[in-house]
Structure 1
Amino acid sequence: MVAFFAFDLGYEISLEGVQALIASTPLQPISRKKRTPTYLQYSNPPQVLILGEIGPLETRTGQITATLFDFGAVSIGYRWPLEETPMSKMPVLSQHLHSLDLEAHAKLQAESLIEKLSSAITRPHLAPLIEDYYIFVLDRIQPSLSSHELLEQYRASIAQVLRFEDQPLSTTQREEALQEQVSYYEDDLAIMDWNAALIYDRDYSDTISVLELLNIELLEARYIDARLDRVIDDYEGLVKRRPLLPIPLRTPYQSVINNLAELRIESALLSERVDNSLKLIGDLYLARVHTAAGRRFYLQDWQTSISRKLDIIEDLYRLLTDRVNTAQGQALELVVILLILIEIILAVVREWH
């Protein structure tokens, strides 16, 4: 069983700097076990830190890891190996996992990391947003079942596991929880819901890595969206207020205009870097996992919201810039008129004398 908690630690993380400060290893490249082309890899492989152990879930002790991404995010991971757990007991186990106070523990880990790695982080700051995601892995079932047989026999239990429920779900809720499924061979299956996934596969590590990255993508999308919201709220009132006096050559809007331009560029760059962090192109297994899980995370809706708010930021920037340019042009015209008027007055005075 796996639990991931995603945090934003700052604007950028120097992965080379992380290696110099603390023992870490690059996340292994995506394998080719399902014929994934070699060029579908991390653009800059994240660094993985082993943070220690956590108390047992069932009978086995778990491991805590931190996966650091160069665009400023970290994924705190908790992994427990499962014994031969009957599917009938999985719903109870999933509720137990969900009831643990892992979020508070993960936040302490993130705070410790930002303190230890502050020199490798540009503009270090732990954002208040957190995204969690849980993955249940079945690498073997006795007797062996095909993915079709697994769903046929344990459909209700799997839906309960994905929704952390102790009672069987209604047919509608069950089918919604099981909606996004991806399979490659007859004996593997990945089912992705909005807060949890179930993987039935002996070769599951790459699928887990893709889902971990998707959880990071969702966090960064929410982070960008919230930041844009705050700026729009702060500055829309300024746009509605018109200055009582003409804007001087040194405009009071200049810092606002600079902030808007900087925010627009930073948000667009962060969104682009997150989107390009893992190259998954074409109708391949991991690309299908990424697409299916992205639908459950409503990533496209978040990206649409970000694009719309970036357009609003662009409009605010243009409006303030146009207002400043117009007002300063009028001020310059007034200065020219005053200079001409003064010149005329001086000429008249000289003529009078």
Structure 2
Amino acid sequence: MSVKILKGSIIFNTAFDVGWEINLAKVEETLLSAEKKSSRFRFSKDPRKAIIIKEAPIKIDLPQEEITILGKKYKTSVYSRVWDYGVISINLEIPIETGSSWEELVNIAGTLETDPEIEKLSIRLKDNLKASIINHIKNPQEWDYFEDYITYFLEGLDGVSKPLELFEKADIAALILGENEHKLSTMSSLPITDNYIQYYDDDLAIIDWNSAVLIEPSGNRDVADVIEFSLTHLLELRYYDYMIDKKLDELYDIINGENKGLKRVIKTHYEKIARESSQNYVDFSDFTAKVENSLKTVGDPYVATVFRSCAEQFRFDDWYQSISRKMNTLFQITQIFQGEITAIRSHLLEIIIILLIALELIPLGWQLMDYFFPR
């Protein structure tokens, strides 16, 4: 018996970096005055017992959109979240038709992986929302890159009595990777299917680097929310890595340029970069503190396990190590050249002092000449 979906949806998350920081209190005021429906993010579990959230993002319900997939039109629910560390996430929730087979869902997944229209729609929705809150964004900017993720949220299945039976009766890896043309090898499938999490025996979470399958008969959205939360952190880590690369490239260009001798003394390239690198240290420390404080757990609840799984799939540790290594390189190089500038300026100061002394001695020399060789 083939597996069919009785109830479910596809959640398409896209996270955008729009600025350095967003004043959520002001955003709430703006939305209330515009009569837009919004609420603060919260998990369904009691946060006092398991989850501690600092600066919870604002969820904004947006008008429905119509999306065409494989010739069918779907009325899609749209909502956004605004995060205080400068991120806007756009979420499109596409309903799965009741009775759809697993194979049909895999075909939809293959289309979503390559469909540019959903990406364009997400960008348009982000631009509209950003324009409405632009006054509350500190240092608004537009980074060319963004992060997207697909979650297959299944609340009811036919053909399996327990979620674990899905591993035998459906090609989960094909759905997660959007591979609808060729059958995946066991070598490709095992790393995905082996990485699953369960809390109750009737739920299941299989999280990979670009999509996830969640089976939640209760309709609980905690796991889906943690995935979105993790996606925004991945975006910020990528942005910081990009920013530091840019600073290093700028420094290398200056080193390889013609800033030598007095030009190097007069110009303040190295001083400027040294100041900026120090500021980057402060900013990155502030960012990591926000990341660490955004989601704290007491004990070892299920949501924390999901977050660790996301962190592993998104390679958070690798990004942190890369950023730390580059920051150390940036700091060391700027310190070396700051020291060189200081030394050159010290020599210049010595020359100036010698010249001033010489100027003071010239009148004395004339007086001595007049004394020994009177006219």
Do they superpose with TM above 0.5?
yes
Structure 1 CA distance for aligned equivalents of residues 264 and 173 of structure 2? 62
Q: SS in structure 1 opposite 2:125?
A: helix
Q: Deviations over 1:95-120 (max 9, x none)?
A: 24334421111111112222221111
One of 148, 153, 156 as aligned partner of 1:140: 156
Map 1:152-163 → 2, pairs under 5 A: 152-154=168-170, 157-163=171-177
- TM-score scaled by structure 2? 0.85
Q: Deviations over 1:193-247 (max 9, x none)?
A: 1110001122530101100011111111111111111111111132355522276
Relative distance call for 1:59 and 1:332 in structure 2 (3 A) is closer
Higher strand share: 2
> Any stretches of 5+ residues in structure 1 without a counterpart?
none
Partner of residue 45, structure 1 = 56
Map 1:1-353 → 2, pairs under 5 A: 1-22=10-31, 23-32=36-45, 38=49, 40-55=51-66, 61-82=75-96, 83-100=98-115, 101-142=117-158, 145-154=161-170, 157-166=171-180, 167-201=182-216, 202-240=218-256, 243-245=260-262, 248=265, 251=268, 253-280=270-297, 282-353=299-370
Please say which of residues 282-291 and 242-251 is displaced more in the overlay.
242-251
Q: SS in structure 1 opposite 2:15?
A: strand
- 1:317 Cα deviation from its structure 2 partner: 2.6
CA root-mean-square deviation: 2.4
Q: Deviations over 1:280-325 (max 9, x none)?
A: 4553211111111221112211111111111122123312321222
- Report if the CA contact (8 A) 2:160-2:166 is conserved: no
- Report if the CA contact (8 A) 1:65-1:77 is conserved: yes
Q: Deviations over 1:34-92 (max 9, x none)?
A: xx753623210101111211226667521111110011001100012333433343212
Please say which of residues 328-337 and 193-202 is displaced more in the overlay.
328-337
> Any stretches of 5+ residues in structure 2 without a counterpart?
1-9, 371-375
Structure 1 CA distance for aligned equivalents of residues 214 and 231 of structure 2? 16
- 1:349 Cα deviation from its structure 2 partner: 2.3
Identity %: 24
Please say which of residues 130-139 and 143-152 is displaced more in the overlay.
143-152
The runs of at least 4 consecutive aligned structure 1 residues that moved more than 4 Å come to 56-60, 246-252
Relative distance call for 1:341 and 1:329 in structure 2 (3 A) is same
Structure 2 CA distance for aligned equivalents of residues 160 and 203 of structure 1? 24
Q: SS in structure 2 opposite 1:80?
A: strand
Larger C-alpha radius of gyration, 1 or 2? 2
- 1:164 Cα deviation from its structure 2 partner: 0.3
- Report if the CA contact (8 A) 1:224-1:306 is conserved: yes
- TM-score scaled by structure 1? 0.90
